Amino acid sequence: ALLIITLLLSKTSLAEPTFSASSGKTQIALLELYTSEGCSSCPPAEKLLGELEDRGLPSSAVIPLALHVDYWDYIGWKDEFAKPAHTKRQRRLGKINDLNTIYTPQFLLNGKDLRPVGLIAHRLPSINQQIAEIKIDLSASYTANDTLKVRWKIEPALPASCRIFLVVTESNLQTEIGAGENQGRTLNHDHVVRSINQSAANSPNDFVSIPIAAELKRNNLDLIAFVEDKNGRVLQTLKLPLH
């Protein structure tokens, strides 16, 4: 009997914690930065992204994402965080914004081109004061095989044309650059998008399993959820720290 009790206690102590968060009544903004380690103009933009909290812009007001694009890789330095999917999303948002070209660094606030980025302090209040059209509930836990199991719930029901994006980000990253415009520099990265999962948001609740690569450090990970309509309009954003 003592052995059984000991084993039960051991299993309980090893259980992975469950993280959870819910969005509030007002809207939280989404700030996307399209960036590249091959772009010499990008480090200052990434520095700003990492300093939002210090600048009085907490995650209760705006949630940042750093999406590294791959179209700078040709100049000699391959950005390890760059993904074609990030470039594809930037091109799609560029068309929505009637832009003739995409570029780095580019900031988008709730899917709208933001130039100059200093305008964020003026545009945020009008977003944060809006009553949110939806509520997002999130819960997440790690499974034994380094997979993140995420459950989400959206109220009220949405049409099938709306999409929910579940994004894993990692902060406190450093890269020593060996070629390209930033050759010889050590770059710091925060809020780097490591994976994006998207699905139709018309189901009132659902769950997904997201593989977490071994090199990702759990203490630096966050889960970001945001919902878009078919025109790229962001309906709500939510951050769930995974640590």
Does any domain span residue 129?
Answer: yes
pLDDT score recorded for residue 75? 87
Banded model confidence at residue 7, pLDDT cuts 50, 70, 90: very low
Does any domain span residue 1?
Answer: no
DSSP 131: B
Residue 225 belongs to domain spanning: 17-241
Does any domain span residue 197?
Answer: yes
Q: How many separate domains does the chain show?
A: 1
**pLDDT tens-digit map of 46-101:** 999 999 999 999 999 999 999 999 999 998 899 999 999 999 999 999 999 999 99
Does any domain span residue 236?
Answer: yes
Element (H, E) at 117: none
DSSP 172: S
| SS3 per-residue string spanning 57-81 | CCCCCEEEEEEECCCCHHHCCCCCC
Does any domain span residue 117?
Answer: yes
Banded model confidence at residue 1, pLDDT cuts 50, 70, 90: low
Query: Hey, what's the torsion of the CAs at 26, 31, 32, 33, to 10 degrees?
Result: -170
Does any domain span residue 24?
Answer: yes
Does any domain span residue 3?
Answer: no
Q: Which residues lie across from 153 on neighbouring strands?
A: 137, 205
Q: What is the pTM of this model?
A: 0.92
Does any domain span residue 155?
Answer: yes
> Does residue 178 have a pLDDT over 60?
yes
The widest CA-to-CA distance across the chain, in whole angstroms, is 73
> Does residue 15 have a pLDDT over 80?
no
Output the CA–CA distances (angstroms, integers) from residue 58 to 99, 124, 239, in the order listed.
29, 11, 11
